[in-house]
Structure 1
């Protein structure tokens, strides 16, 4: 039949998605919201378990009384790898955000509709709370060890700015690797997970490296204990998301791909289209290959 490619009967065992005659925005928002809830729960549940295990089995502590270097690395791996796997598994369902600050960054850059951002925000917060609550009842020990706290000598202002820069790093990585399509988009979760891992190493000792209001809010609810400076784990990440979004708008406005063209070129359509556009604009003849 014209306009339809058929390969015969579907293979046994291959999932055949249901076809709906009419798109339903409400249904799509609902499915995406469930993906964000489940994804946030899975990401933080396994991260909290890894964090708790790292602290409970630590054989030493840092010279200043905090976590040792090895414990910080284990904690960082727990969050980074958990995000990597969970985002890779669920990005087709909801985009794999699992973080209100990331949601804000995508909304202000036009990568996510505002209505979906409004829907995602409470589902992500709820996912974090449920993850912390479940973790607190299935393993021994105090879930409070997973709370984000300021190190001795860290002021509230320092905490806000550190959380801001750490979150800006993560959000900008997400915008460039996942939201901005390229030949490497399909492996974006690897870069995103590594970005969180690096940010965790840099910030765990000083602020707990939240980068995510849902990540900090969940253990506080589960432990029924809020620090007086808990607000920094909301203000800092949201400021970071706005900084990342602002710079993303800046490089997009000035056509960043023209500044360093050909980075994805190897026969890929996306990169080739950019290269052609750049050559036409600069009136540079394309080189021929034998």
Structure 2
């Protein structure tokens, strides 16, 4: 077992045991569906808890309270992250990914809020340049999900394109989020680039004992849809708002394109620290553990 992806034995037993009862009680296909859903929820635990906190605080928070709602969300996110590390629900390698994506996301928040792309209407002490500090944790939740889902589903990505090309694409996407305010928006070209570069890449994963796969661009689209739903929760609760948008209105479906592109930035950020899953497709049968980095060459 690679020490860089070590998880406490009790946590592994918990993760593997979440859907074991389904195998004993349900038909095979239904058991796999239940286990897939449970594992996805387990992988998205950090983001799910943050969404629950956003909904709960919106329901109960009073304007006269000494602690602002935004400030409480910062404290909640910090405590949740500390708990995840203490309980070994996340590894230190995953924490590096989360911190890196947190920083890049917060930098974009500063720029976008100043540019008027969206706003945070409530007050808070832990708010800099109009950006509450909990906002970085929303990006961290995406990084946490990608890192955890890759481990929980024992994912591999194959055949994987040349690594340097993926880094160039991620940088181009990230820069365009800033540059399109001053220069022509090249997101259509970036959409095409994600499909061309990753057209052959399959996301291999395990639900039971048999490896399954899904095209990487389709996976990114489905995750972007999930994030778009979560974003609607944020606007409905008034936690942030887009210009001219009433709180009862749904976030424009076009915003999902932005999340689709940002997910590639998040994914490549994860691979900067965790590259063990960029290998050839698994063999079935028998099931094999992930190889150590360097045991075999990445597929190109």
> Normalised by the size of structure 2, how large is the TM-score?
0.30
TM-score (norm 1): 0.31
Q: As a proportion of its length, which structure holds more strand? A: 2
Higher helix share: 1
Max Rg structure: 1
